[in-house]
Homo-oligomer: A and B are copies of this chain.
């Protein structure tokens, strides 16, 4: 901070530019305007009230600091001097917008008032001087509408309803067709409405309007949708918003006036060409709200070639200055271009990658910048599926492809329905004529969004792109009937609860669930990832249980398998009977006999995976699940036996069921998660691990015989005590020696353990005596550390915990730094103290989560392992962690 506390931080754009203020003081919007002033671009006159003032306001229990009003007036007087217009002067009236602007982008979340300074006198004056009564009263009603809603708290829909009524009465198809006298009537009606609802008149003194507006903008920092947005995007509550007072320019003045938004590059594809849309005879709100469908920016080239040329030139200058793609707002007043905003443009994953890679070749940024600039979560979008293009399914409708990825789900129309469906694990598509900021919860809860109105920069489009959700907007053939809970395309009716599929990459909408295909990585993604590979220290592995997934993981760049689960090898339909017989055996001999029957199948499974990875390390986890998981469930058997008992049917059948029930009861557990499973089963039933190990070593030694390279790691789950690992390791070593003796071929292998109980982490120094490697099983480790059973917690109270901020994140998604990661750090340190070359990785789901990967990098893991589809994300996240680590190291020197 360059400011002294107590000084009233209210600056003209020019002064702010000279003082070199940054985004944290000016907010995003103010900063963009001030930087454009610095570059000499055409920006209206303006004043910025810094975020510090907002914080003072709240610290002051919601009142302006002493001298605040005077200072504001002083700065407005400077604006008047510069523009030659005067606030409240009917002859040369200065109108201003009062705009919010936080340091972090929160599009549409906070309030803005346009055309402030409008009074009865000013309206008359404008009508006289511009000789356009229609423009004067359209502008007045716009002021009343926003001021009434934002400042006087009148329900916005009442204003719209009044306009609709007038249009209906006069047959006007759009705002443009509403006449001057009709607008004049509407102005009277709006004033009456505000008086009726709020008990007060809209003040006719412009300064009074201004202070009320500033207060309302400050207050909007804490409105519910802004709070919700900050929760989702993890923005601190303490930041506050700046307020910009900007001279109005009028896109609604005449036919040579317009307003629009444009990106310096295509935010959907990343192509290097101006991209955007505009509305003639409109003000900014009309574009963003998606009320009228705007024209593509290319049309502007013909309509206003000079303004268009100016915009193209400005786009290039802004990119050169900010070194990133910009999202601009502009207004053309009588053919003259005015810049109203510039900010870093939100973009799709594809665009993010392409822009980043292109900018490196253009010499604008370095490789490390490119890597830092792509959100790993965004990259993940590129790995979303799309509707299989080979399928010849006819779409029900086609809209504007607004956010890529394909999604299927049940149709919902209300946010609450999306939320409750998500809680019960059901996928939904939120369908709406258009979305508004208050729909953020519904969007977050659904798989995708479909709207019948709006363009690529409409609310739905911007928000879903940020969240990486599929979105189709402006599908105009769709008629949404919210009241009846259905939508129609011609004669086809789709009701709430019906399943639809949307493809945000193509804009297609389908009825029912449509086949999708897996994504492939584009050359630019591969370029970016190859840069990432050169920078990251963490190795990336994948979790895969079969040859197909192993091959897919390699294709995505996995450098090994970090977790092969062996449960499915027992539980798949062709083996379940044998596995059950094994479990139900009453003697070890019987069990061993059944295991012998299973062994050849297990061996083939292992061969397939090892072959697919051909020399890359493969970590095979021996059986982890409790044995009862392979048996019929109690809640099926119990009623069945009860029913048979009443019916006194086939006695033999009943007896068999009863025996089975008896055994299932015997094996059932109160808390299976912490019961007889993992290495504990091997302690009581060593023959189980023997059989698995034998199958693994036979597979490996046959492959070695065939010339396939094998890098084998055998992992023991659920270890809580070093002696368990020692005993399990002895079983594995014995089978390895036995296989070597029989085949005459030595297979090199490592034995290690999942660190997934807190005690394994706490006693890692001892555990490492028997471990060649550790792999953190952070799913179970998180459960035990919190004593939260994931099965019971996620459905029941995790949502409540997150919304009440009892936890900042779902710890099953992002590693808990204070608890779980602390344990991990201790384990890494103690383990390596015992054994300096201990290899340490992670194979819980956190291994694919970017923020968790950063933690893994920081605490010195050797690798992360995640699902095959997350491998590219992990490669990028690992590189970002390395870049960040380097920056921190160099800044702390």
With an 8 A cutoff between CB atoms, is A676 at the interface?
yes
B806 with A727: CB separation less than 8 A: yes
CB proximity to B under 8 Å, residues A669-711: 669-676, 680, 683-684
Residues A684 and B787 in contact in the complex (CB < 8 Å), given A639-B641, A724-B806, A766-B818: no
What is the CB-to-nearest-CB distance from A720 to chain B, in angstroms, rounded to a whole number?
Answer: 4
CB proximity to B under 8 Å, residues A760-777: 762-763, 766
Of A370-378, A508-516, A791-799, A839-847, the stretch lying at the interface with chain B is A791-799
Of A36-44, A349-357, A643-651, the stretch lying at the interface with chain B is A643-651
What is the CB-to-nearest-CB distance from A177 to chain B, in angstroms, rounded to a whole number?
Answer: 52
CB proximity to B under 8 Å, residues A806-827: 806-807, 816, 818-820, 822-823
With an 8 A cutoff between CB atoms, is A635 at the interface?
yes
What is the CB-to-nearest-CB distance from A791 to chain B, in angstroms, rounded to a whole number?
Answer: 4
B793 with A675: CB separation less than 8 A: yes
With an 8 A cutoff between CB atoms, is A804 at the interface?
yes
B792 with A787: CB separation less than 8 A: no
With an 8 A cutoff between CB atoms, is A494 at the interface?
no
Q: Which residue of B lies closest to A724 (CB)?
A: B806
With an 8 A cutoff between CB atoms, is A805 at the interface?
yes
Distance in angstroms between the alpha carbons of A721 and B635 in the assembled complex? 34
Distance in angstroms between the alpha carbons of A789 and B668 in the assembled complex? 12
What is the CB-to-nearest-CB distance from A619 to chain B, in angstroms, rounded to a whole number?
Answer: 20
With an 8 A cutoff between CB atoms, is A718 at the interface?
yes
Question: Which of these, B672, B723, B724, contacts A670 with CB under 8 Å?
Answer: B672
Q: Which residue of B lies closest to A806 (CB)?
A: B723
With an 8 A cutoff between CB atoms, is A759 at the interface?
yes
Of A103-111, A230-238, A547-555, A778-786, the stretch lying at the interface with chain B is A778-786
Distance in angstroms between the alpha carbons of A166 and B490 in the assembled complex? 113
Q: Which residue of B lies closest to A636 (CB)?
A: B638
| Residue interface bits A826-843, CB-to-B below 8 A is 1, else 0 | 000000000000000000
B785 with A757: CB separation less than 8 A: yes
A800 with B683: CB separation less than 8 A: yes
What is the CB-to-nearest-CB distance from A251 to chain B, in angstroms, rounded to a whole number?
Answer: 48
Question: Which positions in A face B, CB cutoff 8 Å?
Answer: 634-635, 638-643, 645-647, 669-676, 680, 683-684, 718, 720-721, 723-724, 727, 756-759, 762-763, 766, 780, 783-789, 791-793, 796-797, 800-801, 804-807, 816, 818-820, 822-823
Main secondary structure of the interface of A (DSSP, over half): helix
What is the CB-to-nearest-CB distance from A833 to chain B, in angstroms, rounded to a whole number?
Answer: 15
B638 with A793: CB separation less than 8 A: no
A823 with B762: CB separation less than 8 A: yes
B787 with A723: CB separation less than 8 A: no
What is the CB-to-nearest-CB distance from A16 to chain B, in angstroms, rounded to a whole number?
Answer: 39
Q: Which residue of B lies closest to A641 (CB)?
A: B639
A720 with B671: CB separation less than 8 A: no
Residues A642 and B638 in contact in the complex (CB < 8 Å), given A674-B792, A683-B797, A784-B784: yes
For residue A787, which residues in chain B have a CB less than 8 angstroms away from its CB? 673-674, 718, 720, 756-759, 780, 784
Question: Which of these, B638, B683, B757, B791, contacts A671 with CB under 8 Å?
Answer: B791
Q: Which residue of B lies closest to A808 (CB)?
A: B723
A763 with B819: CB separation less than 8 A: yes
New A-B pairs, 6, CB < 8 Å, besides A638-B638, A646-B647, A669-B789: A639-B641, A642-B646, A670-B673, A720-B786, A758-B787, A758-B823
Q: Which residue of B lies closest to A634 (CB)?
A: B635
B783 with A758: CB separation less than 8 A: no
A819 with B674: CB separation less than 8 A: no
A-B contact pairs, 26 of them (CB 8 A): A639-B639, A639-B642, A640-B642, A643-B646, A669-B789, A670-B791, A670-B792, A671-B671, A673-B674, A674-B786, A674-B793, A675-B796, A676-B792, A676-B793, A684-B797, A684-B800, A720-B786, A720-B788, A720-B819, A724-B806, A727-B804, A758-B787, A758-B823, A759-B816, A759-B819, A762-B823
B762 with A676: CB separation less than 8 A: no
For residue A638, which residues in chain B have a CB less than 8 angstroms away from its CB? 635, 638-639, 642
Distance in angstroms between the alpha carbons of A638 and B820 in the assembled complex? 38
What is the CB-to-nearest-CB distance from A507 to chain B, in angstroms, rounded to a whole number?
Answer: 42
What is the CB-to-nearest-CB distance from A275 to chain B, in angstroms, rounded to a whole number?
Answer: 44
For residue A759, which residues in chain B have a CB less than 8 angstroms away from its CB? 785-787, 816, 818-820
What is the CB-to-nearest-CB distance from A830 to chain B, in angstroms, rounded to a whole number?
Answer: 10
Distance in angstroms between the alpha carbons of A635 and B664 in the assembled complex? 13
Report which residue of A638, A640, A683, A807 has the largest number of chain B beta carbons within 10 angstroms of its beta carbon.
A638
For residue A818, which residues in chain B have a CB less than 8 angstroms away from its CB? 759, 762-763, 766
B784 with A785: CB separation less than 8 A: yes
For residue A647, which residues in chain B have a CB less than 8 angstroms away from its CB? 646
Report which residue of A639, A670, A759, A800 has the largest number of chain B beta carbons within 10 angstroms of its beta carbon.
A759
Residues A683 and B801 in contact in the complex (CB < 8 Å), given A643-B643, A757-B787, A788-B720: yes
Distance in angstroms between the alpha carbons of A785 and B635 in the assembled complex? 30
For residue A792, which residues in chain B have a CB less than 8 angstroms away from its CB? 669-672, 674-676
What is the CB-to-nearest-CB distance from A834 to chain B, in angstroms, rounded to a whole number?
Answer: 13
Distance in angstroms between the alpha carbons of A762 and B826 in the assembled complex? 11
Distance in angstroms between the alpha carbons of A638 and B804 in the assembled complex? 36
For residue A766, which residues in chain B have a CB less than 8 angstroms away from its CB? 818
What is the CB-to-nearest-CB distance from A478 to chain B, in angstroms, rounded to a whole number?
Answer: 38
B805 with A723: CB separation less than 8 A: yes
Question: Which of these, B643, B674, B763, B804, contacts A789 with CB under 8 Å?
Answer: B674
Distance in angstroms between the alpha carbons of A756 and B807 in the assembled complex? 18
For residue A785, which residues in chain B have a CB less than 8 angstroms away from its CB? 720, 757-759, 762, 784
What is the CB-to-nearest-CB distance from A18 to chain B, in angstroms, rounded to a whole number?
Answer: 44
A683 with B806: CB separation less than 8 A: yes
Question: Which of these, B671, B762, B791, contacts A673 with CB under 8 Å?
Answer: B671
What is the CB-to-nearest-CB distance from A639 to chain B, in angstroms, rounded to a whole number?
Answer: 3
Distance in angstroms between the alpha carbons of A766 and B818 in the assembled complex? 9
Report which residue of A639, A793, A823 has the largest number of chain B beta carbons within 10 angstroms of its beta carbon.
A639
For residue A791, which residues in chain B have a CB less than 8 angstroms away from its CB? 669-671
For residue A674, which residues in chain B have a CB less than 8 angstroms away from its CB? 671, 673-674, 783-784, 786-789, 792-793
For residue A724, which residues in chain B have a CB less than 8 angstroms away from its CB? 806
What is the CB-to-nearest-CB distance from A490 to chain B, in angstroms, rounded to a whole number?
Answer: 43
Report which residue of A641, A720, A792 has the largest number of chain B beta carbons within 10 angstroms of its beta carbon.
A792
User: When A and B form their complex, which 4 residue pairs have the shortest distance between CB atoms, in order from nearest?
Assistant: A639-B642, A671-B789, A674-B789, A759-B819
What is the CB-to-nearest-CB distance from A801 to chain B, in angstroms, rounded to a whole number?
Answer: 7
For residue A721, which residues in chain B have a CB less than 8 angstroms away from its CB? 786, 806-807
Q: Which residue of B lies closest to A680 (CB)?
A: B797
Distance in angstroms between the alpha carbons of A262 and B841 in the assembled complex? 65
Distance in angstroms between the alpha carbons of A284 and B102 in the assembled complex? 96
For residue A643, which residues in chain B have a CB less than 8 angstroms away from its CB? 642-643, 645-646
A675 with B819: CB separation less than 8 A: no
For residue A673, which residues in chain B have a CB less than 8 angstroms away from its CB? 670-671, 674, 787, 789
What is the CB-to-nearest-CB distance from A686 to chain B, in angstroms, rounded to a whole number?
Answer: 11
Distance in angstroms between the alpha carbons of A723 and B807 in the assembled complex? 7
A797 with B762: CB separation less than 8 A: no
Question: Which of these, B676, B780, B786, B819, contacts A797 with CB under 8 Å?
Answer: B676
For residue A645, which residues in chain B have a CB less than 8 angstroms away from its CB? 643
For residue A634, which residues in chain B have a CB less than 8 angstroms away from its CB? 635
For residue A720, which residues in chain B have a CB less than 8 angstroms away from its CB? 785-788, 819
Distance in angstroms between the alpha carbons of A786 and B807 in the assembled complex? 24
What is the CB-to-nearest-CB distance from A875 to chain B, in angstroms, rounded to a whole number?
Answer: 31
For residue A763, which residues in chain B have a CB less than 8 angstroms away from its CB? 818-819, 822
Distance in angstroms between the alpha carbons of A820 and B762 in the assembled complex? 8
Q: Which residue of B lies closest to A791 (CB)?
A: B670
What is the CB-to-nearest-CB distance from A759 to chain B, in angstroms, rounded to a whole number?
Answer: 4
What is the CB-to-nearest-CB distance from A172 to chain B, in angstroms, rounded to a whole number?
Answer: 49
Report which residue of A639, A643, A787, A788 has the largest number of chain B beta carbons within 10 angstroms of its beta carbon.
A787
Q: Which residue of B lies closest to A720 (CB)?
A: B786
Q: Which residue of B lies closest to A723 (CB)?
A: B806
What is the CB-to-nearest-CB distance from A784 to chain B, in angstroms, rounded to a whole number?
Answer: 5
For residue A723, which residues in chain B have a CB less than 8 angstroms away from its CB? 805-807
Distance in angstroms between the alpha carbons of A792 and B670 in the assembled complex? 6
Distance in angstroms between the alpha carbons of A672 and B792 in the assembled complex? 8
For residue A796, which residues in chain B have a CB less than 8 angstroms away from its CB? 675-676, 684
Distance in angstroms between the alpha carbons of A635 and B723 in the assembled complex? 37
